[in-house]
A and B are shown apart, each in its own frame.
Chain A
Amino acid sequence: MKRWTLWVPLALFALFIGVAAYQLTQPKNDFIVSAMIGQPLPEFDLRAASLDRPALKTGDLRDGKPRLLNVFASWCIPCVAEAPHLETLRRQGVDIVAIAIRDRPQDVARFLANYGNPYSRIGADDLSEVQLAIGSSGVPETFVVDGQGIIRYQHIGDIRASDVPLLMQKLAEAQ
Chain B
Amino acid sequence: MSVSRSLLVALSALLAVVSIPVAAQYSLPPAPYAYNQLADPDQEAVAQDLMETLRCLKCQSQSIADSDAPMAGDMRHQVRTRIEMGEEPEAIRAWLVARYGDYVSYAPTVSETTWPLFAVPLLLILLAAIILWRRLRART
Please determine if A and B sit in direct contact within the complex, based on CB atoms under 8 angstroms apart: yes
Q: Give the B-binding residues of A (Cβ under 8 A).
A: 32-36, 73-77, 102-104, 107, 126-129, 131-135, 137-138
- The interface residues of chain A, by DSSP majority, are classed as loop
Of the candidates B22, B28, B96, B101, which one forms a contact with A103 in the assembled complex, judged by CB atoms under 8 Å apart? B28
Q: Total A-B pairs in contact (CB under 8 Å)?
A: 65
Which of B90-125 touch A at CB < 8 Å? 96-101, 103-104
- Which residues of A sit under 8 angstroms from B99, Cβ to Cβ? 34-36, 132-135
Q: Give the A-binding residues of B (Cβ under 8 A).
A: 18, 21-22, 24-25, 27-28, 31, 57-58, 70-71, 74-75, 77-78, 96-101, 103-104
Enumerate 20 A-B pairs (CB-CB under 8 Å) in ascending A order: A32-B101, A35-B97, A36-B98, A73-B25, A74-B24, A75-B27, A107-B24, A107-B27, A126-B28, A127-B74, A128-B71, A128-B74, A128-B75, A129-B78, A132-B96, A132-B99, A133-B99, A137-B57, A137-B71, A138-B58
Whether B101 contacts A35 by the Cβ 8 Å rule is yes
A12 and B101 alpha carbons, distance in the complex (Å): 28
Whether B28 contacts A104 by the Cβ 8 Å rule is yes
Whether B27 contacts A104 by the Cβ 8 Å rule is yes
- Which residues of A sit under 8 angstroms from B18, Cβ to Cβ? 77
Whether A135 contacts B100 by the Cβ 8 Å rule is yes
- Which residues of A sit under 8 angstroms from B28, Cβ to Cβ? 102-104, 126
By Cβ-Cβ distance, the 6 closest A-B pairs, closest first, are A135-B99, A128-B74, A75-B24, A75-B21, A137-B57, A35-B101
- Which residues of B sit under 8 angstroms from A137, Cβ to Cβ? 57-58, 71, 100
A88, chain B: closest CB distance, angstroms: 24
Whether A132 contacts B75 by the Cβ 8 Å rule is yes
- Which residues of B sit under 8 angstroms from A134, Cβ to Cβ? 99
A157 and B25 alpha carbons, distance in the complex (Å): 18
B12, chain A: closest CB distance, angstroms: 16
A30 and B110 alpha carbons, distance in the complex (Å): 24
